[in-house]
Amino acid sequence: MPEDDRPHIIARLRFYSSADGGRRGPICGTKVFRCIFVFHSENFDCALLLQDIDCIHPGQTVTVPILFLCPDLIEGRLHPGVIFHLREARIIAEGKIESVFLPNREANSLNEE
């Protein structure tokens, strides 16, 4: 994980139940859960920062900080309200971004002109 482990986004996640094709078991006993962030059919490696969460069960909804392993690949493309999915071998959750802490490339390029 990168040295600077401050989250890049905060998102509200709804994990699918097992019956809806989600995980068969909970995510427990880990401070970091790595998975794939799916945005507009593109895949980005991410880590859910679970320091304040003991377990996430299938069917549960939680608010989670998320860290991208290569944030430069997605910076400037995310904003509050954006919908995305999380994937392991299959889609396990859907999410909605609440806060973004990544630089906005478009705003930065406008300021440089």
pLDDT tens-digit profile of 12-22? 999 999 999 99
Residue 1 domain flag: no
Residue 64 lies in a domain: yes
Domain that includes residue 28, residue range: 9-112
**Nearest alpha-carbon partner for 43 in 5, 89, 1:** 89
More confident of the two residues 111 and 100: 100
Question: Within a domain: residue 4?
Answer: no
CA 87 from centre of chain: 10
- Asked, for residue 3, whether it belongs to a domain, the answer is no
CB-CB contact of 35 with 22 (8 Å): no
Q: What is the CATH number of the domain that holds 29?
A: 2.40.30.10
For residue 35, the model assigns a pLDDT of 98
Give the pLDDT confidence of 22-79 residue by residue, as tens digits.
Answer: 999 999 999 999 999 999 999 999 999 999 999 999 999 999 999 999 999 999 999 9
Is 32 inside a domain boundary? yes
pLDDT at 107: 46
Say if 75 falls within a structural domain. Answer: yes
Kind and range of the H or E run holding 108: helix 105-112
User: For the ranges 52-56, 80-84, 109-113, which has the lowest average pLDDT?
Assistant: 109-113
The total number of structural domains that make up the chain:
1
Instruction: Output the pLDDT for position 103.
Output: 76
2 lies in some domain: no
